[in-house]
């Protein structure tokens, strides 16, 4: 399986390409964000075939409605994540989906019940992106690729041309530093309210 290289582009430039209906913008958007969106969608719909269809629908909605994106209300990633999530939720609530689920054979249904997890997902509910900016640049890059763009550790290693062990060490360091930042913030909040 070949790994697609993510195109480095500023959010502002990507939005401009998308709003001008430039197909390069759509390709960059898809290459950079499809794996993260697919992960969220598949957790909600719990079917690879349906997840692929929903992801296609979500990208069509993003393409058609990019003019409604407002950067003052959040990042492009947060906006497209919400479009994908809402598209998946709409699918799950649709009559067609409900009927399909009712007609599953009992063995598949047991597997769905066993694998159920919460479908509520807000990538930046706790302000993680702002905290990540306090990390060293090499840690910021790795956290961005792994957690916000959906890369695997192996893909990060290939992207930066560094050993997999180095990626693992850097992410461990980054997580330790983020943990310290969270503890510091929690202490300040407790101090403020006491």
Looking at the predicted structure, is the pLDDT value of residue 52 above 80?
yes
Three-state SS letters, the chain: CCCCCCCCCCHHHHHHHHHCCCHHHHHHHHHHHHHHHHHHHHHHHCCHHHHHHHHHHHHHHHHHHHHHCCHHHCCHHHHHHHHHHHHHHHHHHCHHHHHHHHCCCHHHHHHHHHHCCCCCCCCCCCCHHHHHCCCCHHHHHHHHHHHHCCCCHHHHHHHHCCCHHHHHHHHHHHHHHHHHHHHHHHHHHHHHHC
Query: Distance (Å, rounded) from C-alpha 98 to C-alpha 92?
Result: 7
The proportion of the chain whose per-residue pLDDT surpasses 70, expressed as a percent, equals 74
Whether the predicted model's global pTM rises above the 0.75 cut? no
The yes-or-no answer to whether 1-119 and 126-194 have a common fold is: no
Return the CATH number of the domain spanning residue range 126-194: 1.10.10.10
Predicted confidence band of residue 67 (pLDDT cuts 50, 70, 90): very high
Domain boundaries, the chain: 1-119, 126-194
pLDDT tens string 105-146: 544 544 544 444 444 444 454 566 777 888 888 888 888 887
pLDDT of residue 169: 92
pLDDT tens string 88-99: 888 888 766 666
pLDDT tens string 21-34: 999 999 999 988 89
CATH of 1-119, one of 1.10.1740.10, 1.10.510.10, 1.10.10.10, 1.10.340.70: 1.10.1740.10
Mean pLDDT of 172-194: 71
Looking at the predicted structure, is the pLDDT value of residue 184 above 80?
no
What integer best gives the mean pLDDT of the chain? Answer: 79
Looking at the predicted structure, is the pLDDT value of residue 83 above 60?
yes
Predicted confidence band of residue 66 (pLDDT cuts 50, 70, 90): very high
């Amino acid at each position: 399986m070949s790994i697609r290289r993510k195109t480095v582009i500023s959010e502002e430039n990507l939005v401009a390409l998308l709003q001008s209906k430039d197909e390069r913008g759509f390709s960059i958007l898809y290459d950079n964000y499809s794996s993260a969106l697919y992960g969220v969608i598949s957790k909600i719909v719990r079917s690879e075939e349906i997840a692929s269809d929903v992801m296609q629908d979500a990208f069509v909605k993003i393409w058609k409605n990019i003019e409604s994106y407002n950067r003052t209300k959040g990042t492009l990633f947060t906006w497209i994540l919400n479009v994908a999530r809402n598209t998946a939720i709409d699918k799950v609530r649709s009559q067609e989906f409900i009927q399909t689920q009712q007609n599953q054979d009992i063995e598949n249904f047991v597997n769905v019940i066993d694998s159920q997890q919460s479908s509520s997902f807000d990538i930046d509910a706790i302000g993680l992106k702002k905290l990540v900016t306090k990390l060293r640049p090499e840690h910021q890059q790795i956290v961005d690729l792994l957690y916000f763009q959906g890369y695997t550790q192996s893909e990060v290693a290939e992207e930066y041309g560094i050993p997999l062990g180095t990626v693992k060490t850097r992410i461990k360091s980054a997580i330790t530093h983020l943990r310290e930042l969270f503890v510091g913030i929690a202490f300040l909040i407790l101090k403020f309210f006491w």
